[in-house]
Amino acid sequence: MSHAEASHHRVAWRLTPARWVVAILSVLAIAVSVWQLEAERTGVLIEPVPGTGTTPATVYRLPDAGPAPVVIVSHGFAGSRPLMQASSLTLARAGYNAVAFDYEGHGKNPEPMSGDLDSPEGTALLLMAETERVIDAALAQPWADGRVAILGHSMGSYIAVRQAVVDERLEATVAVSMSNDSITATEPPNLLMIQGEWEGRLIPDARDALHLADPDAAFGDTVGDPAEGNARRAVLAPNVEHVGIIWSPFMLREARAWLDATFGRESAGEVAKMGGWVALLLTGIVALGWPLARLRERTHDPRPEPLSRRRFLVVALLPALVVPLALAPVDTHLLPVLVAEYLAMHFAAYGLLSLALLWWWGEVRWPGRAEAGRILVLAGLVAFYGICVFGLAMDRYVTSFYPIPIRLLIICAMALGTVPFMLADSLMVEGGRAPLWRSVTARGAFLVSLGVATALDFERLFFLLVILPVVLLFFLLFGMMGGWVGRASARPAGAGIGLGLFLAWALGVTFPMFQAV
């Protein structure tokens, strides 16, 4: 390679002092967070529970301890066992046998959800039957003393309450972020309801359920006696919403105390403090992307002229109007995931229309073979960082992120849509070099288009509303990271393709599988 070629494509190994500071602080944040999160697991035996069939179940317990009560830990919609680790570890360290499992369609469970999602006698009954199988298997283990309770979050709390109403073995129920119409003044026995202070819509549900037992009771009051099995209590976990409550120390202390009162036990010590460390760990991984983005070969080709304002607005807004209307009549059921086919088609149509407009105006240029190779290498590195670095932290401490084989098909199908979409997005915002208002406009228009699609067919596409916060969070965190990579490498296509692969993976592993029957 000549000196001119070497200067044309050189590696920017030198970091500015600011990037060095961010790199060092990010590594420290990651190291300290991992140390603290692993410390929460120290001294707790974590092993599979046999006898649950295809349902993956894990027990968290103290090693070499005698038989003790079992607490079934039930996750919410789109959750999995790792998401409930704070509860499982807290209860295990208190001497309970915490048994967490993945519901059908979730996490590592190969069986899709089925039945009628809208009917109390549909999917819910199937999930209750699965919960009962896990209870049976747990009580058959030598570490179980025959007593059992259940703790559930969101969807898991709905199933937990209904199961406790019909299963006399369950001596107590901890319902976190609860909404349920099966509660009476006496059923289920020993019910603790914990709502987040910022869960405004759910707070009246707990209050109304408490008033069935005592119309004068208020949050923080205990009605009845847990030792007698007739108690009711409702509390508000301060400063948390629907997700943050999972890691709330207040929630964990209340749950542990309620179970202690039910089983006549006393627990001391700290509850698992994971939420802050998880946030610091993920922040450190994302922030580390800023200095790492400079450690790649940079092209010094002349920067293309930015899109004119008019052309940008056409590319950003026209697909948001056209795609929901064009896809409204299309109804397919090819993939065993709720709204997966539609979402993949929406991404694909949106991205391809945007790319077609950019190509029509001469804004898309095919790279030469050498440059195409560099773009693909960059895309691979971006995808690797998201899936294997960020993903490793997610899988161990947050939620199931590495798929069972059946989900690989879902990821590939999703990538057919997310890759052209994120490629077009990255080109529109010039790899992060465009003004901020353009990024906000382009990504906001896409979110609006999903809202329009849902409004056009609310019954079929309702679950797109669940995806909206996920996509928004992706734009905020990894859209920013894509901008770092795009600006540092001057290869927006590489950043866009890599982010498209990562987005396909994230959606493919987290959204529940569902097979209508």
Q: What number is the average pLDDT over the span 70-88?
A: 97
* pLDDT at position 489: 86
| Cα–Cα distance, 436 to 262 (Å, whole number) | 55
SS3 of residue 316 by DSSP? helix
Asked if 156 contacts 194 with a C-beta cutoff of 8 angstroms, the reply is no
User: What letter would DSSP give residue 516?
Assistant: -
- 150 beta partners: 72, 173
For β-strands 297-299 and 9-11, DSSP reports them as antiparallel
Q: At what angle do helices 480-489 and 369-384 cross, to 10 degrees?
A: 150
- 11 beta partners: 297
For β-strands 232-237 and 144-153, DSSP reports them as unpaired
Q: What number is the average pLDDT over the span 356-373?
A: 87
Nearest to 279 by CA among 477, 108, 503: 477
Tens digits of residue pLDDT in 145-186:
999 999 999 999 999 999 999 999 999 999 999 988 889 999
CB burial class (10 A; 0-12, 13-18, 19+) of residue 470? middle
Asked if 173 contacts 191 with a C-beta cutoff of 8 angstroms, the reply is yes
Asked if 219 contacts 207 with a C-beta cutoff of 8 angstroms, the reply is yes
How many Cβ atoms are within 10 Å of 242's Cβ, its own excluded? 17
- pLDDT greater than 70 at residue 240: yes
Asked if 482 contacts 496 with a C-beta cutoff of 8 angstroms, the reply is yes
Can you read off the two tokens belonging to residue 453?
A: 């699609």
- 187 beta partners: none
- pLDDT greater than 70 at residue 276: yes
Residue 326: half-sphere exposure toward Cβ, Cα within 13 Å: 14
| Cα–Cα distance, 25 to 19 (Å, whole number) | 10
**What is the share, in percent, of the chain residues with pLDDT greater than 90?**
74
How many Cβ atoms are within 10 Å of 370's Cβ, its own excluded? 9
* pLDDT at position 304: 62
Tens digits of residue pLDDT in 297-347:
555 555 567 788 999 999 999 999 999 999 999 877 777 777 788 899 999
* pLDDT at position 3: 46
For the chain, what is the mean pLDDT? Answer: 91
- pLDDT greater than 90 at residue 517: no
How many Cβ atoms are within 10 Å of 302's Cβ, its own excluded? 7
The contacts of residue 376 (CB under 8 Å, 6+ apart) are 494, 497
- Which H, E and C letters describe 421-470, residue by residue? HHHHHHHHCHHHCCCHHHHHHHHHHHHHHHHHHHHHCHHHHCCHHHHHHH
Q: Most confidently modeled of 336-350, 383-397, 456-470, 488-502?
A: 383-397
- pLDDT greater than 50 at residue 8: no
H-helix segments, 293-432: 309-327, 340-360, 369-384, 391-397, 405-428
| Cα–Cα distance, 402 to 56 (Å, whole number) | 14
Can you read off the two tokens belonging to residue 306?
A: 């930015």
User: What letter would DSSP give residue 295?
Assistant: S
Question: CA 343: distance to chain centroid?
Answer: 17
Q: How confident is the model at residue 4 (pLDDT cuts 50, 70, 90)?
A: very low
* pLDDT at position 283: 96
Can you read off the two tokens belonging to residue 294?
A: 């400079």
| Cα–Cα distance, 85 to 92 (Å, whole number) | 10
Report CA dihedral (29, 31, 34, 35) to the nearest 10 degrees: -120
- pLDDT greater than 80 at residue 1: no
| Cα–Cα distance, 148 to 221 (Å, whole number) | 24
Tens digits of residue pLDDT in 407-439:
999 999 999 999 999 999 999 998 888 899 999
* pLDDT at position 303: 59
Q: At what angle do helices 275-292 and 17-41 cross, to 10 degrees?
A: 150
Look at 470 and 62; give whichever has higher pLDDT. Answer: 62
- 514 beta partners: 113
For the chain, domains (ranges, CATH) are 32-276 (3.40.50.1820), 293-510 (no CATH)
- pLDDT greater than 50 at residue 444: yes
Q: Which helix (H) or strand (E) holds 211?
A: helix 203-213
Can you read off the two tokens belonging to residue 178?
A: 């609860």
Look at 102 and 14; give whichever has higher pLDDT. Answer: 102
Nearest to 400 by CA among 48, 82, 50, 33: 82
Can you read off the two tokens belonging to residue 93?
A: 């360290």
Q: How far is it between the farthest Cα atoms of the chain?
A: 86
Q: What is the pTM of this model?
A: 0.90
